[in-house]
Chain A
């Protein structure tokens, strides 16, 4: 069985401040890791993913996440946030083997960026 823990349910920050959203996972098998974002009144959108290779992955809008196998973490960071980054962020894992890549999600972190 797999599980995902997002350590902060809410993170309020001021515009242009750096932010880190924490994610830890538990799994007995190798995993793929994902961050999804849900803007108000919209569906889930993939923000970034780690499948293999470089442990640092980046999104097109300035977010990055680093896979740390020893600490079983996949924290999401952005050096300077914008008001438009206000959303709920979900960390998720799936098995890297087999045929069912079902996602196991954390409970989400609500990022609120204030002016």
Chain B
């Protein structure tokens, strides 16, 4: 069964720190990977999408990398702010999914302390 794992499950950092969230997946045959942000009780906000042919994507203070062969992705957040506090979800589109559906990790709950 294809799975997506995220570590750590929770992370607390002081404001201004740079941090890395990790995502691993069991099958390297993917077509893309998306990082989402979820605030408590809310929907999913897409942050970055990396295609399988790409190594990284950047948006503002966020940088996502992809190492398909080792089944890993990281989300780097620079100069963290209290407003970054949320749960960050990694979702992988495996090639075996004919409908390109996403398989989600359980998320990393980030708290940025002022």
Are A and B bound to each other? no
Q: Which residues of B contact A (CB under 8 A)?
A: none
A residues with a Cβ closer than 8 A to B are none
